[in-house]
Structure 1
Amino acid sequence: MNDTSLTQTAKPLDGVRVLDFTRVLAGPYCTAMMADLGADVIKVESSHGDDYRHIGPFDQGESLLFQAVNRGKRSIVLDLKSDAGRATVHALLRDADVLVENYRPGVMDKLGLGEKHLREQFPALIYVSVSGFGQTGANASKPAYDIIIQAMSGLMDATGEASGAPTMVGEALADVAGGLFAAWGTMVALFDRSRTGRGRYVDVALFDSLMSMMPILACRTLMEKVSPTRTGNRHPLSAPFGTYPAQDGFFAVAVLNDRLFATFCQVIGQPELVQDTRFSTDALRRQNEPALADYIARWASTRSTGEIVASLSSAGIPAALLQSVAEAWNSPQVVERQLTSDVDHPTLGRLNVPEQPVHFSDVPRGNRLSAPALNADAADILAELSKGNTP
């Protein structure tokens, strides 16, 4: 770990150096969160650059997608197939804490930069590999993008209307899951190193990560011994728990226990439903949800979504309007929680980019750098190596 004078307002990862050999989404998402928290992330790229540099949307030739997940990093171009490129990597590793890569299993080994090649010389290094299916298993060598993992995990089969086709979740959730668990695994390994002085190898698979983020589906499959089916916008186990139509749109409501159900019945003007044997337990309410939905629809059909959410919320029942993505990102909650902050880009000017979501005491948010141009920091990084120190 780099020598850095830590103050009360220092970011938690100040002084940590990360060599980032990742491209596209899962790996860069992982290292972007580290950069948000103060790590010096050196993005090692080929002369072509990260694939995300060439995927839109674009503004003045710059990929905004690349900007979103490579904020706060530095870039250097190295030819990893050349002796000079590998020598520079070795020099950088002398002062690195973490290496993150998301090539297919075996690629880094062929380059002489695999974990086993580096462990003896760099025993304290945290080496993190992110891949579609992990370093072992029947599918280890298969290529994978988010939709492939969603398809193979069962998530797509469990998503969508009961009578409709399997549906992909509207975000690259498998990539994000892999990035999150890669960051989590890195932090665990760094904590362990603080006690033992030894680094560890961290093997993260997008498939494993997404599977672990489906606890309800896992419970029903592994313990209840059923095969979950699609339930659309309704909860598979509880009711009323989902979206329902109103006069001018839809609203979401979540009733998970008998107390809330009794209150809900009062709000919709049907207190007698509490005594109805069809709705006496959560399981029975879910079983008889179509009949319950009829009562809700009759009550909601003459009211706006705003009126409904106000009535339910004032009674302590979780309820919400259905916001668009744009409405959510521009909502007061996002602004007050500082889920985004501005960065200055040399070409694009002021950009509003996402920030990692965890709030730490005495750690100010914001004050970050934009994503780097390809090879923009090579001179500085190489100068640091020649001086034998770090910024």
Structure 2
Amino acid sequence: MSYACSSMSILASFPGVLACAAVLGLGVIAPEFTERPEVQWAPWALGLLGFGIPHGALDHQIPYGRTQARSGIGFLVGYLGAMAAVLLLWWIMPLAALIGFLIVAAFHFGQGDLYWSRVSRNELHDEATDPCDRFGAWLAWHSALLLLVRGLVPVALPVLVFDEMFAEAANALTGRLFGDSGQWAISELHRRVGLMVVGVVVVLHLATLVLETLRHPNRTRITLSEAAGSALLVCLFSVVPPVLAMGVYFNGWHAIRHVVRLLPIAEPTRAAARSGHWLTALAQFHRATLPTTVIALAMMGLLWWFVRARTGAVADFGLAALAMISALTLPHVLVVLGMDRMQAVWGRSRAGEVQL
């Protein structure tokens, strides 16, 4: 390939790690500052336009195969149909829609980090000598635990650690905006059990990384990086208020990683990215995603306008935007599953490695 995998990994991981570490430090040093509403919403106001919304705005440009791009009325109808189904669920069963969104989001977050985990190992070019690591029990355990940890931590910890804060926001979303009479509530027993489950999964994940280091010392840098990343996310979502933590994570960690993954395969950016001209590719990306980003923002505004009579509060735009983001998430996850299949993230490719 004509573009460097190592530069891709650095571009994908560095901004998110730096942003999450900075906000975590702020949460430890000045927790009262991170509780201010303007601080908590700042990453959303800045990040959604930069990467949050655009990271899924080229879904129609993702190739089915190595060269064929997604296009046509069938794709558009399917995408909009999935969005409409999610919005309908919000309208008739808001609490179920929220739970479904949390599950899908957890899978998607883990899905994104699993790709980069596979890429980092392919850079070593040593998997061909160890079929058990590639497709045996070890890889299955490692992949499953990484998927769980990187998905559960950003979604489950805010729900369990900041349970009262999350319940207030959840009830405002499902009740005030969509008229659900049911209340989000988690008993103290369920909260403790949930935290225990997350803790066990994290410990098992770290144990697999220790075993990998012992079996393959040349992967120490990779295993340490993954362990540090998981520890950073655990600390971030355990210390920093959920709105701020998720704003930094979603826009700075998840979205940027997906954009960097997307640049070498999407039609508008492929040539520049594969020749190593990342700034050019990024400029092309933002130019290409601008129309879809504007449409998505308009849809968020339209949803808020539709439910505004129930709230009368401009501040609830953030809640309406979250519901619209959930509608965009389902078809986006299905598109990324197609990317995973094309790039052999979940199984064996003809070349025996992830196809970047």
TM-score range, shorter chain: under 0.3
More strand by percentage: 1
Give the number of the structure whose alpha-carbon radius of gyration is greater: 1
Specify which structure has the bigger relative contact order, considering alpha-carbon pairs within 8 angstroms and separated by 6 or more residues.
Answer: 2
Scaled by the length of structure 1, the TM-score of the pair is 0.23
Scaled by the length of structure 2, the TM-score of the pair is 0.25
